[in-house]
Amino acid sequence: MAEITSRQYLKVEKSDPDFIQAVEALGKAARQAGPLDDRQAQLLQLTAAAAIRSEGAVHSHTRRALKAGATADEIRHALILITSTIGFPNVMAALSWADDVLSEKLRD
């Protein structure tokens, strides 16, 4: 499977490690603040990434959801569920981005 971390993230991590450390700490604190497990949290973040049409974040959260135990069917269903909220064209784009990652998984 392709690496979870993007080249841009690694570039910023190298140039401003304190910033990345703070962002990671915020994410960790948010995940620990409630009852959702990591799989659920990654599916939720995946749908948020789709809502803002962030291809990179959809790729990242698809990978992270898989790592957290989500299935391809759960990932696709999470995205389909938000059709009435973000619209059919946006969901189709997000599904294609998720499929980029899911097809990588099949090749591994």
Does a structural domain hold residue 88? yes
DSSP annotation of 53: T
pLDDT > 80? residue 3: no
Q: Residue 57: which residues within 8 A CB-CB, separation 6 or more?
A: 45, 48, 49
Give the pLDDT band of residue 104 (cuts 50, 70, 90). Answer: confident
**For residue 23, what is the domain's CATH number?**
1.20.1290.10
Does a structural domain hold residue 66? yes
Does a structural domain hold residue 1? no
Q: What is the reported pLDDT for 4? A: 52
Does a structural domain hold residue 2? no
Q: Does the reported pTM lie above 0.75? A: yes
Does a structural domain hold residue 15? yes
Please write the tens of the pLDDT for every residue from 24-39. Answer: 999 999 999 999 999 9
Q: What is the count of structural domains for the chain? A: 1
Range of 96's domain? 7-107
